[in-house]
């Protein structure tokens, strides 16, 4: 799912340490624009928001399929 207005720039940058790991850099403009970023752990607030979106999408899907008679409306 995509949508919204905002800007996000992501980049992988080599770090100059002995291990030679790669560092992720991310800048963004727009509230919650970087939700679900692979570059940092998800916050409790983001997890709650994502679960709400998932629950809403499943409810819409189940209701649509139930209207066609091929899925029970009870969840």
The pLDDT of residue 52: 95
Q: Which residues contact 10 (CB under 8 A, 6 or more apart)?
A: 24, 25, 26, 37, 39
Q: What is the pTM of this model?
A: 0.61
Tens-digit pLDDT profile for residues 3-57: 566 677 777 777 666 666 777 777 777 777 788 887 788 899 999 999 999 999 9
- Taking the chain, what is the end-to-end CA distance rounded to the nearest angstrom? 23
The pLDDT of residue 11: 75
């Amino acid at each position: 799912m995509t949508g919204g207005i905002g800007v996000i720039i992501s980049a992988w940058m080599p770090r100059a340490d002995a291990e030679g790991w790669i560092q992720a850099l991310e800048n963004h403009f727009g509230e919650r624009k970087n939700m679900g970023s692979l570059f940092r752990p998800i916050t409790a607030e983001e997890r709650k928001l994502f679960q709400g979106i998932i629950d809403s999408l499943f409810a819409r899907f189940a209701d649509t399929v139930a209207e066609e008679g091929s899925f029970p409306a009870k969840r």
